[in-house]
Structure 1
Amino acid sequence: MRQAIIEEIPHLRRFARGLLRDVEAADDLVQDCIVRALTKEALYDPERSLRAWLFTLLRNLFVSRLRSARLRHERPLEEGDAEPGVAAGQTEQVLARQMLALLQRLPAEQREVLLLVSVEELTYRETAEILGIPPGTVMSRLARGREALRRLQQEADAPPLRRVK
């Protein structure tokens, strides 16, 4: 099981970075997730997808930290500097940063679903299981999230209006 968990680390890091946009905080979250998975290994159901179980653990840790930060009146964990998950050429890096910035403007519910379905390529059922919501809610959040992302991208691409006297 330990080797299978190690193989999931790149997916966990990508999901955590998408949630947090802070590399160090994301790596800390992944580390805590792995520690929790190893200590709670007996609770894992082999019939269930390991990735889905790990994503559920990671998301629950993220939500707990977010709540704790709000209670302590700290800055939200969602803010930070964006970095693309993979090295790319200059143009791809700029586009990736722009897309991450737009993604961060979406509500957390839509952002989570977009990351799990579009980036991690999980099924609607797996995503619903991770988030603890019905599959129909996953589909509607995904549709609304994609539409909102399209709208934000069109606004970002639109040339600024000039005032004419």
Structure 2
Amino acid sequence: MKKMDFAQNIVKMERDLYHFAYKLTSDYDSANDLVQDCILQALNNAEKFMYADNLKGWMYTIMRNIFISNYRRMMREMNIIDKTYTVFQQSLIEDEDSDRFELSYDIKQLYRVIYSVPDELRVPFQMYVAGFKYREIAEKLDLPIGTVKHRLFFIRKRLKDELKDILDVGR
């Protein structure tokens, strides 16, 4: 297949690629990024494409592999960030001689409020803070999306009410 025909065929299937990317990511912006990465990688590796009949399958495989690689990278980064944050947080809370006593007190109060709510509210909130989207939370917890939104609204309201003293000090 000629280089120009190859590129034109890829451009023709962009809409199909976008639909597949959206199924993988459930997010419009992420799907656009995934399609762009896929097309770029396909164009950079055009000489490796062998079978003119199965360009769509080849493109879907590239996209799936990019998605998996990005997901694994994100999970590794989240683990590194979580470990770093935990060490930082513990040092603030455990260091009684710290100049940041108010901050460590605020964090303790924040955790007290978060852990005072029932698991059915706390778990979706923790997932949301960790970066999950409403739809992902609903699927993982086997709940309707409206229930997830309601629970997140309720815990945000509760946090705002119980932490209003902390929030007012920052103003």
User: What's the TM-score once normalised by structure 1's chain length?
Assistant: 0.46
Q: Which has the higher contact order (CA 8 A, sep 6+)?
A: 1
